[in-house]
C-alpha cells in the first residue's frame, strides 16, 4: 500500500479519480501530484511488478506459448511506436523533436538531480547504475534462469553484443570491409549524441565551434568518431575529433575527477584508480592512432567557460601534444 502525501488516503494505486474527486481538489491527476511531491509514487511497487508487461508475467498469466506470442507482439508494437517514422506520421515531429524526446527519456545524473535534488538524485543515480551493471553479470542470469540455462544465456547474450560493437567481428559476420563495419556501428542510435552526451558537453561543443568559426569534423552531437582499441579490447568513442586533435569532455562523476573523489572511492562498482586507468588506455589509443589528445574537466569548464575554450583553441592551433 502507498499513502497519498496530500490527504493520507492509502491504496495500491492512486488513480486520477482519487485526485480529482476524493483528494483535496488541489490536483486533477497524478502528474500534477508528482510535480508537487517529487519522488512520490502513484503505484505500489508490488502491484507495479505484478502488472508491468514482462515475458515472465505474460507467461504466468497466459501460459508458455500464448505468453511468448503476446510478448513478441508487444515488442513489435513498441519498436514501431518508438520509431521516428511513427512519431513523424502521428504527431508531425521533426528529427530534432524526435531526438529531444529521446533525450528527455534517457536516465542521466543531471535528470536525477533535477527530479530528486542533489543528494537524493546522486543516490538514485548510483542505484540505477548498479542495477544496470548487475543485469549484465553472470550472477544475474543464473538467478533468473538457473545454473545451467543461465550460463548458456549469458554466453549467448555477450557473444551477440560483441559482434555488434566489434567492427572486426561484424565485418566477418556480414562479409564487408572493416571501414563499412565501423560506419554501421557509428550510425546506430546508441551512439546518437541526443542521448549519449550531456547538455553541458553539448554547450561546450557549440561554444567551441562558435569560437573556432568552423564546424568540427566529428563530435558526439553530429558525427561520432570511434575506433577499436586493442589496449582496452573494446570499441571507444571520442567526444570530439578535429583534424589531428582529440578532445574528451570529462564529467567529474563519470571520470572520477581527482579533485572531487579520493583514490579509494568506488563509483558504479569501480574504484577511482580503475576509472583513471581506463582513461589512460583510451588516451594512449588516440596517441597510437597519431592523434593529439586533450581532456577537459566539466568543473573547470563550469568555473570559467570562455577561458577554457580559449585554452583549448590555443592548444589545437599550436600543434603540440
64-93 pLDDT per residue, tens: 888 888 888 887 787 777 777 887 888 788
Q: What are phi and psi of 12, to 5 degrees?
A: -75, -25
What the chain holds in terms of domains, given with CATH numbers, is 1-63 (no CATH), 191-318 (3.40.960)
Task: Give SS3 for 212.
Answer: helix
Contact 57/47 with Cβ under 8 angstroms? Answer: no
179 contact partners, CB below 8 Å, separation of at least 6: none
Greatest CA separation found in the chain?
Answer: 69
**What percentage of the chain has pLDDT greater than the value 90?**
27
Residue 189 has what pLDDT? 44
125-144 pLDDT per residue, tens: 667 766 666 676 777 788 87
Amino acid at each position: 500500500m502507498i499513502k497519498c502525501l496530500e490527504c493520507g488516503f492509502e491504496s495500491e494505486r492512486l488513480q486520477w479519480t482519487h485526485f480529482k474527486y476524493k483528494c483535496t481538489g488541489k490536483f486533477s491527476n497524478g502528474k500534477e501530484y508528482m510535480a508537487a511531491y517529487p519522488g512520490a509514487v502513484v503505484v505500489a511497487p508490488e502491484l507495479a511488478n505484478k502488472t508491468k508487461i514482462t515475458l515472465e508475467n505474460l507467461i504466468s498469466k497466459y501460459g508458455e506459448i500464448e505468453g511468448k506470442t503476446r510478448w513478441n507482439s508487444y515488442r513489435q508494437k513498441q519498436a514501431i511506436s518508438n520509431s521516428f517514422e511513427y512519431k513523424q506520421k502521428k504527431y508531425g515531429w521533426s528529427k530534432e523533436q524526435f531526438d529531444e524526446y529521446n533525450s528527455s527519456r534517457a536516465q542521466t545524473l543531471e535528470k536525477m538531480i533535477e527530479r530528486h535534488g542533489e543528494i537524493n538524485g546522486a543516490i538514485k543515480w548510483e542505484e540505477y547504475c548498479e542495477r544496470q551493471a548487475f543485469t549484465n553479470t553472470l550472477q544475474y542470469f543464473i538467478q533468473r534462469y538457473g545454473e545451467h540455462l543461465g550460463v548458456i544465456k549469458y554466453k549467448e547474450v555477450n557473444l551477440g553484443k560483441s559482434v555488434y560493437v566489434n567492427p572486426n567481428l561484424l565485418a566477418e559476420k556480414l562479409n564487408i570491409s572493416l571501414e563499412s563495419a565501423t560506419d554501421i556501428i557509428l550510425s546506430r542510435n546508441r551512439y546518437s549524441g541526443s542521448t549519449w552526451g550531456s547538455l553541458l558537453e553539448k554547450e561546450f561543443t557549440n561554444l567551441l565551434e562558435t569560437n573556432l568559426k568552423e564546424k568540427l569534423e566529428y563530435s558526439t552531437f553530429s558525427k561520432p568518431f570511434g575506433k577499436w582499441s586493442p589496449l582496452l579490447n573494446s570499441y571507444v568513442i571520442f567526444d570530439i575529433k578535429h583534424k589531428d586533435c582529440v578532445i574528451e569532455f570529462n564529467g567529474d562523476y563519470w571520470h572520477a575527477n581527482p579533485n572531487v573523489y579520493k583514490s579509494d572511492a568506488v563509483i558504479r562498482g569501480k574504484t577511482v584508480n580503475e576509472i583513471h586507468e581506463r582513461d589512460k588506455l583510451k588516451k594512449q589509443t588516440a596517441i597510437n592512432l597519431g592523434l593529439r589528445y586533450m581532456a577537459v574537466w566539466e568543473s573547470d569548464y563550469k568555473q570559467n567557460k570562455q577561458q577554457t575554450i580559449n585554452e583549448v583553441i590555443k592548444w589545437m592551433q599550436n600543434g603540440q601534444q
